């Protein structure tokens, strides 16, 4: 999606992609909003795909930029997700669980403060459990 009009850069093919890494492998090179289909589901989800960081193909779970979205939220809000993928958002624990239980994922956390200082951390294996186990 272009972040101005919030339109999806949906792939023209019939194939449903499972995550941003799969979209990157299909030839997409531009960061933006894409539609993915969750594993063993008919549920499509709009996600922001980062196609630049560390080779690209990253499905963005959370983005905070300017405080325009309040992140002091209820359990249910974190379960379902909130905000828009083109801006500040949390993808949602249910969606993240479905994604990370379908295959092995890594997690890249990138931080930047108001002065422009950056830090990051990378974890080779990342998943969250289902709600009954408190998404551990």
**What pLDDT digit, counting tens, does each position of 54-104 carry?**
999 999 999 999 999 999 999 999 999 999 999 999 999 999 999 999 999
Q: CATH number for the domain including 121?
A: 3.90.215.10
Is residue 9 over pLDDT 80?
Answer: no
Q: Is residue 106 included in any domain, yes or no? A: yes
Distances (CA, A) of 130 to 79, 92, 94, 98, 135: 10, 12, 7, 8, 5
Mean pLDDT value across the chain: 92
Q: Is residue 14 included in any domain, yes or no? A: no
Q: Is residue 45 included in any domain, yes or no? A: yes
Q: Are strands 118-126 and 105-112 parallel, antiparallel or unpaired?
A: antiparallel
CA distance 129 to 114: 33
Domain span at 125: 20-67+75-133
The per-residue pLDDT for 1 is 45
pTM above 0.75, yes or no: yes
CA distance 108 to 67: 21
Domains of the chain: total: 1
């Amino acid at each position: 999606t272009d972040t101005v009009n919030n339109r999806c850069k949906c792939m023209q093919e019939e194939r449903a992609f499972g995550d941003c890494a799969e979209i990157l492998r299909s030839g997409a090179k531009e960061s933006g909003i894409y539609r993915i289909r969750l594993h063993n589901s008919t549920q499509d989800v709009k996600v922001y795909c980062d196609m630049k960081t560390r080779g690209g193909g990253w499905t963005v779970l959370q983005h905070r930029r300017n405080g325009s979205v309040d992140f002091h939220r209820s359990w249910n809000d974190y379960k379902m997700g909130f905000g828009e993928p083109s801006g500040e958002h949390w993808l949602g624990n249910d969606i993240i669980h479905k994604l990370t239980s379908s295959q092995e994922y890594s997690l890249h956390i990138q931080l930047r403060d108001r002065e422009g200082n950056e830090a990051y951390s990378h974890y080779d294996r990342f998943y969250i459990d289902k709600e009954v186990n408190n998404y551990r």
